[in-house]
Chain A
Amino acid sequence: MSMNTQGRPTAPAADNLAASGGASALLPAEPLLFEIGDRDHSGVDLPDVEVSDDRLGGLRRKSELDLPGLTEPEAMRHYVRLSRRNYSIDSGMYPLGSCTMKHNPRLNEKMARLPGFADVHPLQPTSTVQGALAVMSELSHWLMELTNTAAVSLSPKAGAHGELCGMMAIKAAHEAKGQGHRKVVLVPESAHGTNPATAAFLGYSVKSIDANENGTVDVEAVKAALSDDVAAIMLTNPNTCGLFESQIIEIAQAVHEAGAYFYCDGANFNAIMGVVRPGDLGIDAMHINLHKTFSTPHGGGGPGAGPVVLSEALAPFAPVPFLRKDGETIELVEHVQGDAFGRLTAFHGQMGMYVRALTYMLSHGADGLAQAARDAVLNANYLKARLQDLFSAPFNGQPVMHEVLFDDEFLKGTGVSTLDFAKAMIDEGFHPMTMYFPLVVHGAMLIEPTESESLQTLDTFAATMRELAEDARNGNAARFTSAPTRAPLRRLDETRAARQPRLKWSAPADDRQAAE
C-alpha cells in the first residue's frame, strides 16, 4: 500500500470510525460514505416489486453498481458531521471580494418550497402555471426598472452563462447588420476570467486593455483600441478593483460610435442597485448574478442564476424562452421567431432562484435595495478608513464602492505571503478575503464586507486585521506560515492533488492491487 508510506489513512474502517466517536469532540473527522455505507443498507422504505425483462430492450443491468447505502440515522450523522467542517455566511463574516456573501434570508427558502413553485413541471400546460409565469414577469419588471433596459432574458443558469447569452445576442446583432467580420472583443486586464473565456468561446479574439494609474479604464485607451474589427467591449462596473468606472459614459459613446456594443459584467451590481441604472450609462447587455445581488444562497458553489438585461438595440436578439402578455394571460414563447439566437438551456431557467430573488426584492423594496447598496459602499469605505494606514492600497485616495482592494506591499520583507496571511485569518475565525485577484495588482487582497455586516462585526474584523498586520511586521512569521492551526485540517497539498489526481474513491483492495 504505497499510500500509507505517505501518511494517508487509507485503511477505512477502524481508524476513521474511531475518529468519529466522542474523542475528537466537536471536530470529528468523517469517514467517506463508501467507508461507512453498506450495500444492504437503505434509508428509504420501498417495496421490492418483481419486474420481468420483457420490456427492457434486453438491457437489464447485470453488473453491480457498488453504491453503498445509509440508513436514515446514519445519513443524518454523516451529513451533519460533514457540514460542521464548512465555514458559511451564517457562521461568520465572509469578506470575499466580488463574491458578495450577504445574508441569505430564510423567507426566500420558505417561499421557494411552496408546492405551487417547487412542485410544478416545466412542460405542463402554461394555462396551469400562470403564477410561475407571473413570478418571471414580476422579476423581469424589477430587473428592467433597476437597470433602465428594454428586455431581459431570464434563462441563463449562472453569471458565466449570462455572459454567453449577452455576447451571443451581440454576435447575432452584428450578423443581422452584415457586420459578422467584427472578430475582436476588448477586455480590460482586470476582468473576471470568464470574460475572455466567453469571448474566445464564441470565436472572438481578445484584446486586453490596461488599467490606468487610477485603477480604471481610460476612454483614450479604449478609443485607441477600437476599430472596424471590434464587436464589443466587456467591462465590469463597478470594476474588480472596487472602483466605479468614472469615464463609463464616454467609453459607451466611443464604443457605439465605432459600431460596437457594450457588454457590462454585472457581477458587482449590488453596489449600485437602486442608485445608478446601467442603462443610463449606455450599456447594451449586462448579466445580473441573482445569487450575489439578490441573496439567493451560494450552496457551496451553486446553483446560481444569471439573467441578462438588454438595450433596445439588442432586445430582438434575446434567446428563447421569453414572456409575452396577452391581456391577463402570460404566454411563454419557446420557439425561435425573428432574430432570436436560439436556446441556451432546456426548459426556462432557474425558477427556484427567481422566487428567492423576487422575495428578497419585495422584502427590501426599491427603497431598501438602494439603502443596501449605500450601506455596502459605506461598509467598504469604513474598512478602508480603518485599515489604510497599515495595509497598502494600490489606488489610494479615492472612495471605493462595495469592496476595497489592498496589495501585499505591506508584507514585503516579513516572510509572510498573501496566502499565509489569509490562512492566519482562518485561525482568527474569519473566512479569508479574495486573494491574487484582480491580476492587475501584485498580491491582491480584495475585501467585500457587504451591507449585512454590523458596525460591531466590522470593528472586530478591522481590529483583527490590524493585529495580524502588526504581528507580521513584527517578525512573527511562524504564526502565518504554520496557519491554519485551528481548522479541521492544516494546509492542504494542492500540488499533489493535481500531479496525482484521485478523483474518486476506490476500495483499499484496489489500491493494493494498483500498488503491486
Chain B
Amino acid sequence: MRYLPHSAADRQHMLATIGASSIDDLFAAVPKSVLGTFSPDLPDHQPEFAVEAHMRALANRNHAAGDGPFFVGAGAYRHHVPATVDHLIQRSEWLTAYTPYQPEISQGTLQMLFEFQTQVAHLTGMDVANASMYDGSTATAEAVLMARRITRKNKVFLSGGLHPQYRDTVVTYLSGEEGLECLSPSPEGQGDIIDHIDDDTAAIVIQTPDFYGHIRNVSKLAEAAHAKGALLIVVVTEIVSLGLLEAPGALGADIVVAEGQSLGNPLTFGGPYVGLLACREKFVRQMPGRLCGETVDADGQRGFVLTLSTREQHIRREKATSNICTNSGLCALAFSIHLSLLGEKGLTRLAKLNHSRAIALADALAGAGLEVLNESFFNEMTVRLPVPAAPVVEALAANGILAGLPVSRLEPDKPEVENLLILAATELTTDADIAALVDALKGELA
C-alpha cells in the first residue's frame, strides 16, 4: 500500500494520543450491524507493475484513432496536441491544485482562467465568457435555461441541425417543462426555424457548422429572434472552425456555447471535455458557472479572484442560477495553452488546413460516385450511401478503417437517415488515408 505513510508504530502512537485502543473505536457512531461485515468480490492491493499490466491489456483491446485511417467526428475531433501542452498541464501546481478559493496562493489558476475567458470571448466574438462548463452539451442545456431566465419566456426551439445528443441532453435538463420543441433532423441543411419564432419564444438554438457539416448563416435568424424579443443561442462543436469562419458574435448571437475539446484535449472516449459559454455583457449575472475577475491586492498589485459568486449555489442555495459547482479547469488550461501556442496566425492556418483536407475528402468521395450532401462545410460532411451506413462502417472497421459515424447510431428510429454517414477530416488526415477509405468504400458498395 504504497500510498499510505503510517507504520504500525505510528498508528499505535496516534491511538494513544487520541485515547482509543483501536481504529475501530473511532467508528463508534456506525451501527455495529453494518461495520465491516462484508467481504467484497474485489482483489487486494497489487504492485505497480501488475496494475500497469492490467490496464495496458485493457487499453490494447481498443482500436486507437492513430492506428489507421480515421474519419469519425460528430462533436469530438482528432487533432494533434503539441507535446508542450501535455507537459505543462502535468506540472504539479496545475494538476494537483484545488478550486482557487484562496486567491493569494492560486494566482496561477486564476490568471489562466482570466486569460481563458478573454480568449473565448475573442474567439466567439462575445463580450464575456465564463471559466468553462462540463462540456458542450451541458453548456447548451444551461444556455437554454439561462435564456428562459433572461426573457422570462418558456418556448425554446432546437434546430434540426443540432447534435442529437446535445438535443437529448437539453430535453433531459428541461424534462417536464413546457415549451421545448425539437425540430426534425435536417441533413440537407434546408431546415430552418425562422418561421417558428413568435412573441412567446425565449430562444432558438442553432449549431454551425451543424451536425451534418453545413455552415449556417445565423444573422437572419438573429434579426428575426431579436424582433420578437427572443435570444439566439449558437452552438459550435468544432471550435477550430472559428479560425476560418465568422465569429457567431459578429452575426448576432446572444449566447454562444461550444465544445472546446478540439484544442488541447485528446478524444478520451468522450470525456473529460471542456464546455465554453460566452454571452453579451448585460446577461452576465444570469450566467451559470464560475467567473474569474480582475482586482487589486492590498498593495495595489493586479490580481485575480473568483467573482460574482452571488449567482452560485454555495451562496444562494436553492435560489442559485444553476447547481453547477465546478468547471473543467485543467481542460480549460490545455485549451488555453494550445490556443496561445497557435495564436491568431496558427489558428487560422490550422483551420485552413482542416478545411483543405476536408475538401480533398469530399472531392474524393464525390469522385468515387458517392453523394455528398453538403454545399458548404468546414471539416465535416454527410454522405448518402446507397445502402444502410452502419453495416458498412462495421465492415470497414473490421479492416482497420474507421469510416465515420452512421447517423442511425444517434437517430435509431428515423429511417430517413439510415443511409447517411458523417465523415470528418482534420490536419491529421493524409491522402493515403483518404485513398484507403475510398477504395474500401468502393469495395464494400460494389
Q: Encode A29-69 as 1/0 by CB contact (under 8 A) with B.
A: 11011100111111110111111000111111111111111
What is the interface of chain A mostly: helix, strand, loop, or mixed?
Answer: loop
How many Å from the CB of A341 to the closest CB on chain B? 7
Distance between A70 CB and nearest chain B CB, rounded to angstroms: 5
How far in angstroms is the closest Cβ of chain A from B28?
6
B377 at the interface (CB under 8 A from A): yes
List 17 extra interface pairs beyond A346-B135, A351-B269, A364-B45, CB under 8 A: A39-B343, A39-B345, A43-B84, A57-B214, A86-B94, A127-B397, A200-B318, A200-B319, A244-B29, A303-B271, A303-B328, A351-B271, A366-B42, A454-B10, A489-B103, A491-B104, A505-B118
| B291, CB-defined interface residue at 8 Å | yes
Q: How far is the CB of B177 from chain A (nearest CB, A)?
A: 8
Contact B137 A129 (CB under 8 A): no
Q: With the chains together, A115 CA to B61 CA distance in Å?
A: 11
- A221–B76 Cα distance when bound, in Å, is 49
Closest 10 CB pairs of A and B: A69-B343, A7-B300, A116-B59, A299-B330, A347-B270, A131-B61, A122-B270, A365-B45, A57-B376, A342-B172
Q: A67-B347, A76-B88 are in contact. Are A125 and B393 (CB under 8 A)?
A: yes
Q: Does A255 contact B (CB under 8 A)?
A: no
Collect the chain A residues with CB atoms within 8 Å of residue B293's CB: 497-498, 501-503
Q: Which residues of A contact B294 (CB under 8 A)?
A: 497, 502-503, 505
In this complex, the member of A70, A82, A113, A201 whose beta carbon has the largest number of chain B beta carbons within 10 angstroms is A82
Residues from 494 to 508 in A contacting B, C-beta threshold 8 Å: 494, 496-498, 501-505
- CB neighbours (8 Å) of A366 from chain B are 40, 42-44
Q: Does B394 contact A (CB under 8 A)?
A: yes
Is B324 located at the chain interface by the 8 A CB criterion? yes
Complex Cα distance A258/B264, Å?
50
Cross-interface CB contact of B103 among A33, A192, A199, A492, cutoff 8 Å: A492
CB distance from A217 to the nearest CB of B (A): 13
Question: Given A399-B29, A494-B295, does the pair A121, B78 have CB atoms closer than 8 Å?
Answer: yes
Is the C-beta of B371 less than 8 angstroms from some C-beta in chain A?
no
Decide if B92 touches A90 in the complex (CB within 8 Å). Answer: yes
Closest B residue by C-beta to A114: B59
Do B284 and A350 touch across chains, with their CB atoms under 8 A apart?
no
Partner of A120, one of B19, B268, B314: B268
Contacts of B33 in A (CB 8 A): 249, 280
Q: Are B42 and A44 in contact (CB under 8 A)?
A: no
B270–chain A nearest beta-carbon distance, Å: 3
- Chain A interface, number of residues (Cβ within 8 angstroms): 209
Complex CA gap A159/B48 in Å reads: 29
Residues of chain B contacted by A197 (CB below 8 angstroms): 313, 316-318, 320, 322-323
Q: Is the CB of A275 within 8 A of B314?
A: no
Contact of A86 with B106 in the complex, beta carbons under 8 Å? yes
Cβ–Cβ contact A363 & B46, under 8 A: yes
**Contact between A501 and B269, CB atoms less than 8 A apart:** no
Contact A83 B93 (CB under 8 A): yes
Tell me whether A276 is interfacial, beta carbon within 8 Å. yes
Q: Do A362 and B34 touch across chains, with their CB atoms under 8 A apart?
A: no
The CB with the most chain A CB atoms within 10 A, among B40, B67, B271, B394, is that of: B271
